[in-house]
Structure 1
Amino acid sequence: MRTLLIVGLLVAMAAFAVYQSATQPDNPAAGTPARTAPTAAAVDEKPAVGFRAPPFRLSTLEGGEAAFPNGGKPAVINFWASWCGPCRLEAPDLVRLHDAYKDRVEFYAVNLTDTDNLEDVRQFVQEYRFSLPVLLDEKGAVANRYAVRGVPTTFYINRDGVIVDVVVGVVPYAEMERRVKRALGE
């Protein structure tokens, strides 16, 4: 009974966090950052809206290496794990988003490999037909640098390398697309 209550409470907290992220008003006076598209003038690196996204370099699932930033395009950085139920819910929409915007936006699917099993990662990628690059955060250093506290967590970054949106949890595809368009400046 106690376990069921704890699980219910965790689910309710996650749902509230997703709702709050998707519906939070743009009110600088209340301490919420304005939702204007930050520019290159924001030079400090910090994993928050209005700051430059921290750079990183990681191994890929295929054995290569990938780096962010990569060429001055907007970017989507998604932190995930194969054991994460919400990541499974989000995966089809993330693949769809990548397929729709891969020519205009860089995508990075950063697996929390330090908490995951590489065989499970491969199975997840195959099951959801990931076409986007899968990066392995084997020591958790990039997740720590981005202050990731739950998965999925997604950062939307404009062409200047400035974070324009952060989402913890799952949002509908239309909301993901709206945030990509914000990163594109549309």
Structure 2
Amino acid sequence: MTATQPAPRRSRTVMFAAIGVGVVMALLVILLITSKNADDAPSASPVVGKVAPALNGKAIQGDAVDIGTNDRWLLVNFFATWCTPCVQEHPQLRKLSEEMQKTGQLKVVSVVYGDKAAAVRRFFAKNGGTWTVLDSDNGRTALDWGVAKVPESFLVSPTGTVVVRFQGGVVATDVESIINKAEGQAEGGS
């Protein structure tokens, strides 16, 4: 009987070790699932608070845009038709363009990011939107603006200063709120 007594001890030790390893693995899986990806974390923008870089590139739709001569707010949106969050954000851009263009308060401009002009034309024909769309000029404009990944948008004040950067899509009410707050502060300060 003495020969069989050590076996239960080993099996309990193995069982407790397996349970311990299982608990640690479960905690690691939970940690990985709930933690944010480094790519999802907001990053500092080199252009916020500075004069907006030029918008180069040929117009696929609409007219070329010169930021220096703009007398209203400008939302510069970097997008691609193959980008799911870009497609999801498009109705918000349409809403902004339609509502705020009536008042002359905001103009939307999109810059294509790694996409073909034909795909962009089909996308706008299917999903609507009449604002200016510029080609990517081989990515130079995105580089000048410090674009990390699409969708990414920048709100430019009428003075040409980049006020805020939106990563992962814009919400029309957020843009409207920022503009109204900034204009309210400007009126209160004068």
TM-score by length of 2: 0.68
In the alignment, which residue of structure 1 is the partner of 2:105?
A: 104
Question: 1:49-128 counterparts in 2 under 5 A?
Answer: 49-62=48-61, 65-102=64-101, 103-112=104-113, 115-128=114-127
Kept in 2: contact 1:47–1:53 (CA 8 A): no
CA distance in 1, matches of 2:97, 2:182: 14
Aligned length: 152
Kept in 1: contact 2:110–2:132 (CA 8 A): yes
Secondary structure in 2 matching 1:86: helix
Identity within the alignment, %: 26
CA distance in 2, matches of 1:83, 1:167: 19
Secondary structure in 1 matching 2:141: helix
1:77-130 CA-partner distances (Å, limit 9, x unpaired): 001011110000000110110111122223211112xx2122211111112101
Structure 1 pair 14/60, CA: closer, same or farther in 2 (3 Å)?
farther
CA distance in 1, matches of 2:90, 2:37: 21
TM-score by length of 1: 0.69
Deviation at 1:64, TM superposition (A): 5.3
In the alignment, which residue of structure 1 is the partner of 2:37?
A: 13
Kept in 2: contact 1:58–1:135 (CA 8 A): yes
Structure 1 pair 118/104, CA: closer, same or farther in 2 (3 Å)?
same
Question: 1:121-136 counterparts in 2 under 5 A?
Answer: 121-136=120-135
> RMSD between aligned alpha carbons?
3.0
Secondary structure in 1 matching 2:56: strand
CA distance in 1, matches of 2:174, 2:48: 17
Q: Which of these two proteins has the greater Rg computed from alpha carbons?
A: 2
Secondary structure in 2 matching 1:100: helix
Structure 1 pair 15/170, CA: closer, same or farther in 2 (3 Å)?
farther
Structure 1 pair 159/64, CA: closer, same or farther in 2 (3 Å)?
closer
Secondary structure in 2 matching 1:55: coil
Kept in 1: contact 2:153–2:167 (CA 8 A): yes
Q: Which has the higher helix share?
A: 2
Structure 1 pair 173/63, CA: closer, same or farther in 2 (3 Å)?
closer
1:117-164 CA-partner distances (Å, limit 9, x unpaired): 222111111121012111112311100100111111110111111111
Structure 1 pair 184/83, CA: closer, same or farther in 2 (3 Å)?
farther
Secondary structure in 1 matching 2:138: coil
Secondary structure in 2 matching 1:66: coil
